Structure 1
Amino acid sequence: MSREELIRTFSPHVADAVTRPFEIPLLTHREGWDTGARRLLAAPDLADSAPKGTPVGPRDPRLMYHAEMLPVITPALRRGLHDARRQLRKNRFSSVGRATNMIIDGDRGCGKTTLLVQIGRGYQGLIETDLGPDANRIPVIYITVPSERESTLHWSLPFAEFLGLNHTLNPTDRTRRPSDMTEPVTHVMHNARARLVLVDGLDRLADNEIHGAFDYFETLQDRTRATFVYCGTGAADIVHEARYGRRRKNLPNAVKGTARPDTQPVLWAGAIDYGDDWHSVVKGFDDDLRLYDHIPGTLVKMSRYLHKRTGGYINTLNDLICTAAQDAIETGTETITRPLLDTIRTGRHDTW
């Protein structure tokens, strides 16, 4: 998985690919997902930006870009995307039995949701490049675990929301109680050829909700042949509980980060140790900065300091660098320095 492959998921022949929108799309709605999935990921060119010293507005392209920058390939992202592509390629042309699902697990702040979204983005890019854009096709569905989970009605609602289906008994009064949308959802998923369902926030499930949730997922899978990817801290244990009635961590010889023969493939994300992988990640941020006075290699020279500040957690590193870059643009300093980084609170290792 090269950096170019990660950033440019779509073929140039996909006509409706778009640049970063002003309003951040809500991925749990189809329109928002499509907008996010079809974004052309590119850093602004300094030659096309407002000259140095020009006052910046709240929607300055460089200010917006440094809110998240480009995805940097971490070890978990590289391995996870590689494994997911292999499994999805196999599932796409398999006709017997349920598709093999996947699990994304790991510590908080290690990029699990980033991996989940990139898997979906890459798969949608593959389908649209292979078959061409089709307004009636919905290759990927992205949902988060809902706040209410007592019945199939509640589980049907995030799917209905994504697909744009009205789920109230009285369409003219949104305050009326919703109806179970399982039948309309499965009908639309089948006709729209939905083949990948991304379920984020699996760690929100209480123990007594696990079996009901997975009964629902398996019902949808049996009727649509979609592959499900479950994401959340402890997701491997939750899926194992759903399938076998007991957690992996309570089984003999269970080891975190190792897949047991009786589980679905697990894509693991963890903190990055200080070493070559960490240096590579920091260099990725260093290369992607768009600051007028940035000297290439500045962040790399602070690699050990950055690891102490973040503990090797990619989300914390992203917050630290992006916040510093935006501050450098607004103040006109146009460079990231150790004193600037010292003033930024990350919520992790602030007492370093």
Structure 2
Amino acid sequence: MTKDDEHTAATLARLMTGGPPPVRETLSGWEQWRTARAEFTPAPQMDLATWRVLSPRERLLHDLHRAATHSNLPVLQTPMTRKVARRLTARLKTNWLKQKPTTRAGIMITGGGAQGKTETVCEIIATFQDDWQRLGRLMAPGMPGTRDVTAPVAYVQTPVTAKPKSTCKAILSFYDAPVASRMDLPDLVRQVAASLHDHGTRVLVLDDITRLRMHRADDQDTLDLIRAFMSMHVTLVLIGVDIPSSGLLREGRFDTQRGQVAFPAPKSAKVFGLESTQTERRFDLVELDRFHYGTPVQISAWAEHLAGVEHCLRLLKAPTGMLTGGAMPEYLYRRTNGVVGLLERLIEDGCEEAIDTGTECLTETLLDGINIDITDDPHRDHQAGEVPRVPERETAGQHRRARNSSFDDRGPAAADTGS
């Protein structure tokens, strides 16, 4: 057995015997994911001739490793994610260094369904936490008389039917904090405040915040409670689908020049017992947009992203420019509307089909047979807009719009025309 073969076997053993993926909604799960998120090693590049000389066992191992590679494609940077990273990192840094007992401004990350908001934000925050943890003694130590465990970041999923009590319990569940069955709301809020303080939490991420429906009284109270958390000296990071249209900003004043939304103090302040002033709560509003395909700059960005995806694939007959040559960029855009989550699903399923059929290459004909379906994902709330519209597949013989030829090289003859 070669060293590469041993390494492949070890990688697959970790994948198959390591148990389910970590659940980021718990402190131990978040730390497990954060510290191990870059450990996966993709399968080595290999052409068909090299694969054919492998033994049957080595072929099986390599094919399994390739399938694992396609199922664990990395989160690639895009112009949109870089914009979010700049704004979010700047807000985290400013608030982390703030010592004044003032309200920390929060940040809202909005965008369409399946556009990678959660993975992008978690990666940015985990990287920020990695950087600060390298500073060692500058991190907050364990508080005397409490658990000697720090949790700079708390990641929480907004309950599907959110109420103030269930939201508090979701946050406490992250810390595995005890919750008495008959605790009333003020007790739960005090328990949340104690957990945030005792664990040195600086960032509280509430994902899928647009599951709140502002026509329901419970949801309005929950949003008031969330805004009140800002007085606990944490940076609130709210992630949601199309936040501007969700009703969450109904009471806010949006400053287009600064990209900020200012909210009045929560109406339920006296009930929650958190407010000492009537200071407005401010949020930066940042959009993680999909790719667009209308200008040369946008087309170039899409092609660059496809090139990055292609570099991660492990198909034995894949030619250079498999995803970026000819009409393929426009085809992929029509199939996905520039949504990275839909592109990932199409490529992932397409690679599986290419390996199973021995095609070992992605073509329009092969991808025409792949149906993108994410409607059965139990982690997505249809009513909150978390499942995007998937463009319809084109059937054989259906008219296709002529491709954009802006970047075609027409050669010297074309250059001489009209001279």
TM-score if structure 2 supplies the norm length? 0.67
1:200-253 superposed Cα distances (whole Å, 9 cap, x missing partner): 111111113443123322333313x11011111232454423546xxx6xxxxx
Where 2:51 maps in the other structure, the secondary structure is: coil
1:137-216 maps to which residues of 2 (within 5 A)?
137-150=150-163, 152-169=164-181, 181-207=188-214, 208=216, 209-216=218-225
> Which residue is equivalent to 1:87?
91
Q: 1:349 to 1:44 in 2, by over 3 A?
A: same
The count of corresponding residues between Structure 1 and Structure 2 is 315
Q: 8 Å contact 1:42–1:70 — kept in the other structure?
A: no
Identity of counterpart residues, as a percentage? Answer: 20
Counterpart Cα distance in 2 of 1:139 and 1:327: 42
Partner of 1:303: 329
Residue of structure 1 equivalent to 2:38 = 40
Structure scoring higher RCO (CA < 8 A, sep ≥ 6) equals 1
Residue of structure 1 in register with 2:130 after alignment: 125
Q: Which runs of 5+ in 1 are unaligned?
A: 1-18, 170-176, 249-253
| 1:303 Cα deviation from its structure 2 partner | 1.0
Residue 101 of structure 1: which of 103, 106, 109 is its match?
106
Residue number in structure 1 paired with 2:382: none
Residue aligning to 2:346: 320
Report if aligned partners of 1:203, 1:232 keep a CA contact under 8 Å in 2. Answer: yes
SS at structure 2 position matched to 1:199? strand
Partner amino acid for 2:92?
A: L
Q: 1:158, CA displacement in angstroms? A: 0.8
Could you tell me which residue of structure 2 aligns to residue 16 of structure 1?
none
Q: Structure 2: where are the runs of 5+ without partners?
A: 1-13, 142-147, 263-281, 294-298, 374-389, 395-419
**Where does residue 235 of structure 1 map in the other structure?**
243
Residue in 1 that maps onto 2:414: none
Q: 1:220 aligns with which of 195, 214, 229?
A: 229
Distance 1:344 1:43 in 2: 27
1:233 partner letter = V
* Cα pair distance change 1:351/1:295, threshold 3 Å: closer
Q: Which has the larger radius of gyration?
A: 2
Change (3 A) 1:47 1:240: closer
Query: What's 2:311 paired with?
Result: 287
How many angstroms apart in 2 are the aligned matches of 1:317 and 1:22? 27
8 Å CA contact 1:43–1:69 kept in 2: the answer is no
Change (3 A) 1:57 1:143: farther
**Does the CA-based 8 Å contact 2:208-2:239 persist in structure 1?**
yes
Over aligned residues, Cα RMSD in angstroms? 3.1
Match of residue 13 from structure 1:
none
Deviates more, 1:181-190 or 1:67-76: 181-190
* C-alpha distance 90-278 of structure 1, shift in aligned 2 (>3 A): same
- d(CA) in 2 for partners of 1:264, 1:62: 43
- Counterpart of 1:77 (choices 52, 77, 81) is 81
TM-aligned CA deviation for residue 190 of structure 1 = 0.7
- In 2, Cα distance between equivalents of 1:110 and 1:243: 25
What SS class does the counterpart of residue 323 from structure 2 fall into?
helix
1:77 Cα offset (Å): 0.7
| TM-score of the pair, normalised by structure 1 | 0.79
The equivalent position to 2:71 in structure 1, one of 67, 75, 78, is 67
Pick closer, same or farther for the CA change 1:277–1:330 going to 2, 3 Å. Answer: same
Match of 1:337 in 2: 363
Counterpart of 1:52 in 2: which secondary structure? Answer: helix
The answer (yes or no) to whether the contact 1:310–1:316 under 8 Å persists in 2 is yes
Higher deviation after alignment, 313-322 or 181-190: 181-190
- From the superposition, tell whether residues 92 and 131 of structure 1 become closer, same or farther in structure 2 (CA, over 3 Å): same
CA distance in 2, matches of 1:351, 1:334: 22
Q: C-alpha distance in 1, partners of 2:301/2:150? A: 39
Q: How big is each residue's C-alpha offset from its partner over 1:242-300, in whole Å with a ceiling of 9 and x where there is no partner?
A: 546xxx6xxxxx98x99357462122122211211111111110111123332332111
**Native 8 Å contact 1:113 1:200 kept in 2:** yes
Moved more, 108-117 or 305-314: 108-117
